[in-house]
């Protein structure tokens, strides 16, 4: 898990000012309705909360974050600086930065602010402790997720354990219902699974992924899109552990869910591609037909795409050709690659890694067939591109150049074709430097 690029905290102050200012000249396109400017703060807060959910569900993340920032400012106005609802607003904002923007450091800092507010809320006997404890579960969970993204695994585990323990105690005390507890467990188990997987502890991650899937299916439904990322991550762990049949089955299960939700061509292509890759990774002959089927399905979804879709199609096609070579279908792979060359030049450019790799594979195919001239021509183009991209001393360039040098030596060492007797005789008559007067000189051409 790599840390996303972080934004200085000072920028958050600017966002807050922009969010609550009603006199700013630079308004965002999705601003609050004019009537909302004259509503009481609590009504504005409710409106902002609804809009934040709506923007998040429609993947308009920038607008969702703006609404979450407004919620923090309005909650402070409505409830003051020490109310648990302000902590809840900060937790929601932290989750927004983490899930919608991938900014884990900002999420951690907002969660820490929420923790300070909750500490003072617990000391206040007038607040509802049940609400505070529910808020605390979300705080520990969010902090755990942020620390996990920052690869601080020990601290992440400590916070996730607190969230799990508190949720269990609240269930036992009757402060939350079973369905609510299961929903919390689904998120916590998935986080633990990702924590172990982030540490390359696949055996320990596996049962947590299985539990996370079980709880998610209970809460959402077996055909919910929420199951798809869990199924894919579970399949990835199974693949790492060598359980290839299970991995292919879970990728296939996720694929069926995706297809049932009217996916875009790219989403459908990616989903089929997961199955094809898993089938190839198994190394089993039984999975060869599965791999080919889903490679073809993936390419079919992307075949008529343009722009980025076209480059994706060509990349998948290259993987398919590699699969064909592995399974002994080299002539078919070579034919497809040869036909794809022009499209690759158009999509990636003349001097691109994709075009260089295609020339390299085609050159090796020519070499395997004994066509040294064809191999030399294609490898020469490959090395020219590699020299431009990586430099003359890069290991890829040097490896290709070494093959070219070997071909040159073979060509030089090869015996020249034997001359015919007629050519020999003609050559011999041309050796003397003297001619008989009145006789024409013979030439080698004669």
Q: Which residues contact 422 (CB under 8 A, 6 or more apart)?
A: none
Residue 7 has pLDDT above 60, yes or no: no
Q: pLDDT at position 55, please?
A: 93
- 159-190 residue pLDDT tens: 999 999 999 999 999 999 999 999 999 999 99
Least confident of 39-43, 54-58, 85-89, 407-411: 407-411
Q: Is residue 358 part of a domain?
A: yes
Residue 227 phi, psi (nearest 5): -80, -20
Residue 45 has pLDDT above 90, yes or no: yes
Sequence-ordered alpha helix ranges (H) in 124-201: 129-149, 153-172, 178-198
d(CA 13, CA 21): 12
Q: Is residue 394 part of a domain?
A: yes
Q: Is residue 206 part of a domain?
A: no
Q: pLDDT at position 442, please?
A: 41
291-295, 407-411, 420-424: which has the highest mean pLDDT?
291-295
- 333-345 residue pLDDT tens: 999 999 999 999 9
Q: Is residue 216 part of a domain?
A: no
CATH number, domain containing residue 407? 1.25.40.10
- 254-305 residue pLDDT tens: 999 999 999 999 999 999 999 999 999 999 999 999 999 999 999 999 988 8
Q: pLDDT at position 425, please?
A: 46
Residue 410 has pLDDT above 50, yes or no: yes
- 104-150 residue pLDDT tens: 999 999 999 999 998 887 665 555 688 889 999 999 999 999 999 99
d(CA 157, CA 165): 12
Residue 20 has pLDDT above 50, yes or no: no
Domain count, the chain: 1
Q: Is residue 342 part of a domain?
A: yes
Q: pLDDT at position 437, please?
A: 42
Which residue range forms the structural domain that includes residue 367? Answer: 329-411
Average pLDDT score over residue span 29-35: 50
Geometric angle at alpha carbon 60, from 102 and 25, rounded to 5°: 105
Least confident of 17-21, 42-46, 313-317, 372-376: 17-21
Mean pLDDT for the chain overall: 85
Residue 309 has pLDDT above 90, yes or no: no
Within 10 Å of residue 407's Cβ, how many Cβ atoms? 18
Q: pLDDT at position 288, please?
A: 95
Q: How far is CA 117 from the centre of its chain?
A: 37
Q: pLDDT at position 385, please?
A: 95
Q: pLDDT at position 22, please?
A: 35
d(CA 196, CA 307): 38
| CA nearest neighbour of 145 among 187, 206, 183, 185 | 187
Average pLDDT score over residue span 23-52: 68
Q: Is residue 149 part of a domain?
A: no
């Amino acid at each position: 898990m790599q840390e996303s690029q972080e934004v200085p905290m000072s920028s958050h102050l600017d966002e807050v000012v922009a969010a609550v200012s009603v006199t700013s000249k630079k308004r965002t396109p999705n601003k609050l309705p004019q009537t909302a400017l004259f509503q009481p703060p609590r009504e504005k807060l409710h409106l902002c909360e609804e809009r934040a959910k709506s923007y998040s569900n429609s993947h308009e993340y920038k607008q969702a974050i703006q609404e979450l920032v407004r919620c923090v400012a309005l909650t402070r106005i409505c409830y003051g600086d020490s109310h648990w609802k302000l902590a809840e607003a900060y937790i929601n904002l932290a989750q927004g930065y983490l899930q919608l923007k991938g900014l884990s450091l900002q999420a951690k800092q907002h969660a820490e602010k929420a923790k300070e507010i909750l500490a003072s809320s617990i000391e206040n006997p007038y607040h509802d402790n049940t609400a505070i404890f529910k808020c605390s579960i979300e705080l520990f969970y969010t902090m755990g997720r942020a620390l996990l993204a920052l690869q601080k695994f020990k601290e992440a585990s400590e916070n996730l354990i607190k969230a799990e323990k508190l949720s269990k105690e609240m269930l036992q005390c009757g402060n939350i219902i079973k369905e609510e507890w299961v929903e919390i467990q689904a998120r916590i188990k998935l986080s633990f699974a990702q924590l172990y997987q982030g540490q390359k502890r696949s055996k320990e991650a596996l049962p947590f992924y299985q539990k996370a899937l079980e709880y998610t299916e209970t809460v959402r439904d077996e055909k919910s899109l929420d199951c798809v990322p869990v199924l894919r991550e579970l399949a990835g762990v199974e693949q790492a552990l060598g359980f290839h049949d299970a991995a292919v089955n879970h990728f296939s299960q996720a694929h069926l869910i995706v297809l049932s939700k009217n996916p875009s061509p790219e989403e459908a292509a990616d989903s089929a591609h997961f199955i094809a890759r898993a089938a190839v990774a198994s190394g089993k002959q039984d999975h060869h037909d599965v791999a080919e089927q889903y490679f073809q399905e993936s390419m079919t979804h992307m075949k008529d795409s343009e722009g980025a879709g076209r480059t994706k199609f060509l990349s998948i096609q290259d993987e398919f050709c590699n699969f064909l070579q592995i399974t002994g279908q080299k002539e078919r792979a070579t034919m497809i690659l040869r036909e794809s060359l022009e499209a690759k030049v158009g999509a990636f450019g003349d001097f691109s890694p994709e075009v260089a790799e295609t020339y390299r594979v085609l050159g090796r195919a020519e070499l395997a067939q004994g066509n040294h001239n064809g191999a030399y021509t294609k490898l020469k183009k490959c090395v020219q591109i590699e020299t431009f991209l990586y430099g003359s001393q890069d290991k890829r360039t040097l490896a290709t150049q070494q093959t070219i040098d070997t071909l040159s030596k073979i060509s030089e060492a090869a015996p020249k074709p034997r001359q015919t007797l007629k050519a020999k005789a003609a050559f011999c008559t041309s050796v003397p430097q003297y001619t008989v007067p009145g006789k024409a000189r013979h030439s080698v051409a004669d």
